């Protein structure tokens, strides 16, 4: 049984046309500018690539089959567009999920149509300076004031933080049995008291804007609360398996793309009178990488199917995330080595893939945190 059917492959043709026309030619410009133009998002929306999960009544495609998102990720990886892939994942796999699962009718009707059209880019703000992935160490607070909320604090490492129009913010809203309680809030970036810090300089993903955000005693209406008060941990736990599956899939397809570039390069490049691929060491290394990729794809396709069946648990999401992102590091590093000195030249896609890959073992929870989640499950 194949993972994709005819509908997915027909969709792939549309995505490939969009990527070749609207993405591939401008990758260097986006890296230089540190930003992806909003017109790219709007064009993606017009051709049906953005907002796949958004219900039709809000202008989206209303598609629950995650394999269509997998196709988008594969085609972006094919040209090395990791920055756009990352931003779209936050938009479509994360924020849309929170709004459709926990949002009120008012919240959904306010934000989902503009997200579906590409006019609004969203981000999610959880990580904080000094706390990182430790949600219980969060210091951003939201305090009730009558029918309103007073939000104060700061966040860092926020994907699309410099360009986003709306942010889902996690904040402490109380304590229970000595433990902090979190709640989620939908925060328009036009709200008084909201500010963006510097656009953060990163090792890779140069076109993907990442920023610090600050909330200076912002007054939010009661309608800004997303989901239930004090249930933020539960809401986050509910959505994290898909977020980590999304990161895992991006990692796998990026590694597969790097492998494909490298096979072609080693067939064309010669050394000591022979093609690089004709050396036994090259063939053995490629054989190892090919096998690891095939085995990993089988596992990850099964994980996607579990998600489609409503059976993707946190432990499987953690396994997928740590394994695939660490695999991406190994594969991309090995592929750069097979390119020799040219692999270090920025004009070759493997060079961009190398620097873009490094963050993958950090975002969405580090490899060490993933292993802790898995280990706790094993220990019962």
- Single residue among 104, 120, 136 that ends a domain in this structure: 120
Q: Which residue has the tokens 């899939």?
A: 249
191-230 per-position pLDDT tens digit: 999 999 988 999 999 999 999 999 999 999 999 999 999 9
**pLDDT at residue 132, as a whole number:** 63
pLDDT tens-place string over residues 93-114 = 999 999 999 999 999 999 999 9
DSSP string, 354-372: HHHHGGGGTTTS-HHHHHH
| Same domain, yes or no: 342 and 358 | yes
Shared domain for 371 and 243, answered yes or no, is yes
Q: What is the CATH classification number for the domain harbouring 200? A: 2.40.110.10
Q: What is d(CA 42, CA 50) in angstroms, rounded to the nearest whole number?
A: 8
Which domain-ending residue is among 72, 103, 120?
Answer: 120
**Strands 194-199, 210-221: parallel, antiparallel or unpaired by DSSP?**
antiparallel
* Whether residue 175 sits in one domain with residue 83: no
- Neighbouring CB atoms inside 10 A of 123's CB total 28
Return the CATH number at 45.
1.10.540.10
My answer on whether 93 and 221 are in the same domain is no
- Considering all CA atoms of the chain, what is the largest pairwise distance in Å, rounded to the nearest integer? 79
Q: How many domains does the chain have?
A: 3
Pair 353, 255 in one domain: yes
22, 212, 243, 256: which is the annotated catalytic residue? 243
Is 196 part of a structural domain of the chain?
yes
Q: How far apart are CA 87 and CA 95, in angstroms?
A: 11
Residue 240 lies in a domain: yes
Give the tens place of pLDDT for each residue, 39-73. Answer: 999 999 999 999 999 999 999 999 999 999 999 99
Do residues 163 and 244 both lie within one domain? no
The answer to whether 122 touches 91, Cβ cutoff 8 Å, is yes
Whether residues 238 and 375 share a domain: the answer is: yes
Whole-number pLDDT of residue 133: 62
Q: Which domain holds residue 80?
A: 6-120
Residue 216: beta bridge partners?
Answer: none
Establish whether 243 is a catalytic residue: yes
CA 48 to chain centre: 19
Positions of the chain with pLDDT under 70: 1, 131-135
223 within domain boundaries:
yes
Q: What DSSP designation does 91 have?
A: I
Residue 180 has what pLDDT?
Answer: 84
For residue 1, being part of any structural domain is answered with no
Asked if 23 contacts 40 with a C-beta cutoff of 8 angstroms, the reply is: yes
As a whole number of Å, the CA-based R_g of the chain is: 21
Residues 66 and 133 in one domain: no
């Amino acid at each position: 049984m194949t993972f994709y059917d005819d509908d997915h492959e027909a969709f792939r043709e549309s995505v490939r046309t969009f990527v070749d026309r609207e993405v591939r030619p401008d990758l260097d410009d986006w890296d230089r500018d540190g930003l992806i133009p909003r017109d790219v998002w709007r064009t993606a929306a017009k051709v049906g690539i953005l907002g796949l999960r958004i219900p039709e009544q809000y202008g989206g495609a209303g598609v629950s089959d995650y394999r269509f998102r997998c196709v988008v990720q594969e085609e972006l990886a094919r040209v090395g567009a990791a920055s756009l892939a990352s931003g779209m994942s936050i938009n479509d796999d994360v924020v849309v999920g929170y709004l459709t699962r926990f949002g009120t009718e008012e919240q959904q009707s306010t934000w989902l149509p503009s997200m579906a059209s590409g006019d609004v880019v969203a981000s999610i703000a959880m990580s904080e300076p000094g706390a990182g992935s430790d949600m219980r160490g969060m210091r951003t607070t939201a305090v009730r004031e009558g029918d309103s909320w007073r939000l104060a604090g700061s966040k860092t490492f926020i994907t699309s933080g410099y360009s986003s129009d709306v942010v889902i913010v996690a904040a402490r809203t109380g304590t229970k049995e000595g433990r902090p309680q979190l709640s989620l809030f939908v925060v328009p970036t036009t709200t008084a008291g909201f500010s963006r810090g510097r656009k953060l300089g990163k090792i890779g993903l140069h076109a993907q804007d990442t920023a610090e955000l600050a909330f200076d005693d912002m007054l939010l209406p009661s309608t800004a609360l997303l989901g239930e008060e004090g249930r933020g941990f539960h809401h986050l736990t509910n959505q994290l398996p898909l977020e980590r599956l999304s990161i895992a899939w991006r990692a796998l397809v990026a590694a597969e793309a790097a492998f494909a570039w490298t096979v072609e390069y080693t067939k064309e490049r010669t050394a000591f009178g022979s093609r690089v691929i004709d050396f036994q060491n090259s063939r053995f290394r490629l054989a190892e990488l090919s096998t690891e990729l095939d085995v990993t794809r089988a596992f990850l396709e099964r994980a996607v199917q579990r998600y489609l069946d409503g059976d993707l648990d946190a432990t499987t999401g953690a396994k997928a995330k740590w394994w695939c992102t660490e695999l991406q590091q190994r594969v991309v590093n090995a592929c750069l080595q097979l390119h020799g000195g040219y692999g270090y030249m920025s004009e070759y896609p493997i060079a961009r893939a190398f620097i873009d890959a490094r963050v993958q073992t950090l975002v969405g929870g580090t490899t060490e945190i993933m292993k802790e989640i898995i280990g706790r499950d094993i220990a019962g």
